[in-house]
Amino acid sequence: MAMKSILEYDTVSLSDDGAALVIIDQTLLPGEIKLLHLTGQNEIWEAIQALRVRGAPAIGVAAAIGLYLAAREIKAGERGAFLERLHAAAEYLNSARPTAVNLSWALRRMERTAHQTAGGAEEIRAALHRECLAMWQEDIDVCRRLGENGLSLVRPGDGLLTHCNAGQLATVRYGTATAPMYLGHARGYGFHVYCDETRPLLQGARLTSFELSSAGIDTTLICDNMAASVMKKGLIDAVFVGCDRVAANGDAANKIGTLGVAVLAKRFGVPFYVVAPSSTIDLHTPTGADIVIEERSGDEICRMWYEKRMAPEGVKTWNPAFDVTDNDLISAIVTEYGVARAPYTESLRDIFCKKEAAQI
């Protein structure tokens, strides 16, 4: 039997029996496609922290399913005590990664559902089950709308550059920054996509180039320090990146190295687009300076992908997982409710007004 394509799997899902979070273990890609069935809170926390599941939307859906699974384990009892234990589980899951706003957003939404549900543990569990599945379906629908809106910004035959992985592997399906690429490919746009390798975890090499080439998209992998050269050669017509949090002023936190790509795009006159579901926009964070940046182990730089250590023992390391791209470097922010442009303090609020109107 032929091995299924990576695109035939959902990145995140609830098992058919409702007893496990099912994810693709992305630490093994592209060499092995392995599905993990996670039930305990400790292993779900570890999967988020260790990047077995990653990408802001996918993390949010995984957390929602994880909190539902936590509710299944909480013994029925007095409603207040049940909700307190549920909150403790949410706080624990939220501690896995601090930068991606979708993690806290999804957990708050699930807790709000619990508090708004009349009845005891059985009724709350049923409501949380419905809510996490609704969030799973919404992620698919939102990513398709992101793709449609992003596709309006490019032309057939364009050369596109992306950094890190904001593809299907960062969502349930389609991706965010790659959604226009997938939709355009299906419509014969003939894009040529360049993928930054994205040091030090190589998400662009291991994940983005893997999934895009699996879809039949014309894909070229480049080292991070080659982005300037491909832009100077005129090979890039637009840059599409995802993000983990957008501040109220339009500053956007994304995988480390994104800021450098944005600076280069500005220098060479290439439009730089951030593709962000509205759940990633945090109007309570005024600017990018207020975003907490996760710092990770220096081993990811020195030894993670090498047979032998590639840096001297004892050398200092600094390994921030994200950087913040200033809003003046961003040509537009693509959301499921439209394309926002500067001044972002106004256009992002307009996006939320459209969102509220659509939910009435």
Query: Per-residue pLDDT averaged across 167-178, rounded?
Result: 94
Ordered strands of the 252-255 beta sheet: 281-282, 245-247, 252-255, 322-325
Q: Tokens 């207020």 label which residue? A: 290
Mean pLDDT for all residues in the chain: 95
Q: What pLDDT, on a 0 to 100 scale, did the predictor assign at position 1? A: 36
Query: Per-residue pLDDT averaged across 228-251, rounded?
Result: 97
Whether cis (ω within 30° of 0) applies to the bond prior to 156 is no
Query: Per-residue pLDDT averaged across 212-238, rounded?
Result: 97
Query: Per-residue pLDDT averaged across 220-238, rounded?
Result: 98
pLDDT-based confidence at 264, cuts 50/70/90?
A: very high
Query: Per-residue pLDDT averaged across 143-167, rounded?
Result: 97
DSSP 10: -
Query: What share of the chain has pLDDT > 90, as a percent?
Result: 93
Kindly give, in sequence order, each residue whose CB lies less than 8 Å from that of residue 146, ignoring residues fewer than 6 positions away: 174, 176, 179, 180, 275, 277, 334, 335, 336
64-92 pLDDT, tens digit each: 999 999 999 998 889 999 999 999 999 99
pLDDT greater than 50 at residue 124? yes
pLDDT-based confidence at 104, cuts 50/70/90?
A: very high
Query: Per-residue pLDDT averaged across 243-260, rounded?
Result: 97
13-67 pLDDT, tens digit each: 999 999 999 999 999 999 999 999 999 999 999 999 999 999 989 999 999 999 9
Q: How far apart are CA 83 and CA 68, in angstroms?
A: 12
pLDDT-based confidence at 2, cuts 50/70/90?
A: very low
Which are the catalytic amino acids?
A: 244
208-219 pLDDT, tens digit each: 999 999 999 999
Q: What pLDDT, on a 0 to 100 scale, did the predictor assign at position 3? A: 55
Q: State pTM to two decimals.
A: 0.91
